[in-house]
Amino acid sequence: MDDFEEIDVHKAKELIDGGQAYIVDIRGQEAYHDGHITDAVYVDDSNIEEFVNGAEKNKPLLCYCHMGISSKGAAQYFKEQGFATVYSMMGGFTEWRQQYGDLVATSERG
């Protein structure tokens, strides 16, 4: 049984609008730079340890990927790292962009 909860993009938006959750993007860096949920943090193997060690574990965490598949494994990982409440967004960024395309940010390539 999974320790995280899968939620749709509408529930994810409600969580994000509350302003009290980490938003974690686990897609590739290029995809993140091309567009991501506003205030999302890009996390990959190079910075995941730093993110986990510096995060408040009692703050909810929403994880997303391209289609909502890979984020399930990532959500389980975050749960195993001690985060109390972890969500995986069904449909991923693809569904988010379809529903809330005006709430997408881009960033500079570094």
Q: Catalytic residue, from 16, 24, 63, 65: name it.
A: 65
For residue 85, being part of any structural domain is answered with yes
pLDDT digit string, tens, across residues 47-95 = 999 999 999 999 999 999 999 999 999 999 999 999 999 999 999 999 9
For residue 110, being part of any structural domain is answered with no
Strand 86-89 relative to strand 5-7, pairing: parallel
The pLDDT score that the predictor gives to residue 103 is 81
For residue 90, being part of any structural domain is answered with yes
Across the beta sheet with 41-42, what order do the strands follow?
Answer: 5-7, 86-89, 61-64, 22-25, 41-42
pLDDT digit string, tens, across residues 3-34 = 999 999 999 999 999 999 999 999 999 999 99
Instruction: Establish whether 63 is a catalytic residue.
Output: no
DSSP for 13-64 reads HHHHHTT-SEEEE-S-HHHHHH-EETT-EE--TTTHHHHHHHS-TTS-EEEE
The pLDDT score that the predictor gives to residue 52 is 98
The pLDDT score that the predictor gives to residue 2 is 66
For residue 29, being part of any structural domain is answered with yes
For residue 99, being part of any structural domain is answered with yes
For residue 35, being part of any structural domain is answered with yes
Domain holding 38, by residue range, is 5-105
Q: What is the count of structural domains for the chain?
A: 1
* Bridge partners of residue 37, in order along the sequence: 104
The pLDDT score that the predictor gives to residue 108 is 67
> What's the predicted TM-score (pTM) here?
0.92
